[in-house]
């Protein structure tokens, strides 16, 4: 009976796994090297081009003379896989992957990961979205809900968002906002350990925001 492609691929994979396990066992034994003249002909082996590796790897470690099929366990699904010598040569010498980098995922899991990253939910850009939204509020007259949003942003765990809230207040102007900004400036701590305090960042942000909106008294 004719073998299907799937069967054939499975058989090839089994043979590769066996070969890789054997060569891994060989490498574990000390001082075992394939003879220079033979390694290029050995199955699952590729000679390395050290002149290429040297150009892209600033390492004190020893660069390999050849690549051998390496067995590895997929980080995501746990499948036993083989990183072939040919794939390694391509990775290190064509893509210039660092000499210490290793295969971590099987092909199916690499594809799944790429897909996940491509379809990342907008939550990944939440800070960016909130920042844009807050800035846009400064373009219009403040409504009650806009004021509430800015007040909430001033308490945000992200200081960058608090700074945008301060800028929005400066753009709105008005007695209450200007008073609040001057209050922040007055609370600026002196140097020392307080240098990285939020109060200092807030005071500087308020001063800059007022200068930019020409509301500097």
The residues that touch Zn ion, with contacts defined as CB under 5 A, are 74, 76-77, 79, 106, 109
Tokens in use for 182?
Answer: 């001057």
Q: Which residue, 48 or 106, has its beta carbon nearer to Zn ion? A: 106
* Residue of 64, 136, 137 whose CA lies nearest to 102: 64
The least distance separating Zn ion from the CB of residue 136, rounded to whole angstroms, comes to 43
Task: Give the dihedral of Cα atoms 178, 182, 187, 191; nearest 10 deg.
Answer: 120
* Residue 39 to residue 32: CA distance in whole angstroms: 12
Q: Which residue, 21 or 74, has its beta carbon nearer to Zn ion? A: 74
CB-based contacts of 3, cutoff 8 Å, min separation 6: 11
The least distance separating Zn ion from the CB of residue 109, rounded to whole angstroms, comes to 3
Q: Which residue, 76 or 204, has its beta carbon nearer to Zn ion? A: 76
The least distance separating Zn ion from the CB of residue 104, rounded to whole angstroms, comes to 9
Q: Which residue, 42 or 113, has its beta carbon nearer to Zn ion? A: 113
Residues linked to residue 66 through DSSP beta bridges, in sequence order? 47
The least distance separating Zn ion from the CB of residue 17, rounded to whole angstroms, comes to 14
Residues linked to residue 67 through DSSP beta bridges, in sequence order? 46
């Amino acid at each position: 009976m004719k073998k299907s492609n799937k069967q054939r691929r499975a058989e090839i994979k089994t043979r590769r796994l066996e070969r890789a396990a054997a060569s891994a066992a060989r490498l574990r034994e000390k001082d075992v090297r394939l003879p220079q003249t033979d390694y290029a002909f050995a199955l699952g082996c590729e000679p390395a081009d050290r002149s290429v590796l040297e150009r892209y790897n600033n390492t004190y470690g020893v660069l390999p003379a050849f690549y051998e099929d390496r067995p590895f366990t997929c980080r995501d699904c746990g499948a036993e896989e083989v990183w072939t010598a040919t794939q390694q040569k391509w990775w290190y010498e064509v893509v210039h992957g660092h000499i210490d980098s290793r295969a971590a995922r099987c092909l199916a899991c690499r594809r799944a990961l790429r897909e996940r990253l491509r379809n990342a939910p907008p939550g990944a850009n939440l800070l960016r979205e909130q920042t844009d939204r807050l800035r846009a509020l400064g373009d219009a007259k403040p409504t009650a809900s806009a004021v509430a949003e800015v007040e909430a942003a001033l308490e945000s765990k992200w200081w960058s968002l608090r700074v945008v809230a301060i800028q929005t207040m400066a753009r709105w102007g008005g007695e209450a906002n200007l008073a609040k900004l001057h209050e922040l400036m007055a609370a600026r701590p002196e140097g020392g350990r307080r240098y990285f305090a939020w109060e200092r960042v807030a005071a500087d942000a308020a001063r800059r925001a007022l200068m930019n909106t020409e509301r500097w008294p």
